[in-house]
A and B are shown apart, each in its own frame.
Chain A
Amino acid sequence: QSALTQPPSASGSLGQSVTISCTGTSSDVGAYNYVSWYQLHPGRAPKLMIYDVNKRPSGVPARFSGSKSGNTASLTVSGLQAEDEADYYCSSYAGSINLERFGGGTRLTVL
């Protein structure tokens, strides 16, 4: 049950945009439109930022957006702010047996 593939790090300057990729397979990302993205800050509860590929929960700024093409999903953060510096994990529904696969995480640094 392999994890989804994310780059270990990403960075961008204040105000710029950055995109984080999440590559899975035809059994998870490619098969379902149930991709989620989570933000992890040390010592805090993980926060859902995107679900269903591109939907934002209430309270998540519009500068966070998601997309998917084939087996790869992406999270784009526009207008980077200092508080966006965190670890980001993608996940995808993977069927009723394997349920959910997570990515390896990407540390986003705001320069």
Chain B
Amino acid sequence: QITLKESGPTLVKPTQTLTLTCTFSGFSLDTNGLGVGWIRQPPGKALEWLALIYWDDDKRYRPSLKNSLSISKDTSKNQVVLKMSNVDPVDTGTYYCARRYIYGSGGTFDTWGQGTMVAVSS
């Protein structure tokens, strides 16, 4: 059974760095064709993809947030960490991690965590 679970602070102050951890089980992130991504949903708004790390350590970021995001993996711990620097109240929302199954030139997020709510406020 594949599971993912997000963890991190529920409240962060503006300008601080938000660190979120995705701990997963049921698969290994050194398996060809797999990745783990982060997706968020601001209150009342659409889902938006933030970052993705592939099995070969290739990393992709949402172009508009590229300078403030950093994603990394620890295969031995089955964890993926997302850091978002200089957060702003607009970064408030529910943050999900999800497994990416990659095939052809595309793929899909086939399994998701339940999400963790983060508020950015002073």
| A residues neighboring B (CB under 8 Å) | 1, 3, 32-34, 36, 38, 43-48, 51-52, 57, 89, 91, 93, 96-105
In the assembled complex, B34 has its CB within 8 A of some CB on chain A: no
Q: Within B70-122, which residues are at the interface with A (CB < 8 Å)? A: 96, 98, 104-115
Query: Is B22's CB within 8 Å of the partner chain A?
Result: no
Asked if residues B47 and A105 are in contact (CB atoms below 8 Å), the reply is yes
Which of A99, A103, A105 contacts B49, CB < 8 Å?
A99
Q: How far apart are the CA atoms of A32 and B103 in the complex, in Å?
A: 13
Question: How far is A98 from B47 in the complex, measured between Cα atoms in Å?
Answer: 14
CB contact under 8 A between A34 and B106, given known A45-B115, A89-B47: yes
B46 adjacent to A32 (CB under 8 Å): no
Ranked nearest first, the 4 interchain pairs of A and B with the lowest CB-CB distance are: A34-B106, A93-B106, A102-B47, A51-B108
Is B63 positioned at the interface, with any CB of A under 8 Å from its CB? yes
Quick check: A91 and B47 within 8 Å, CB to CB? yes
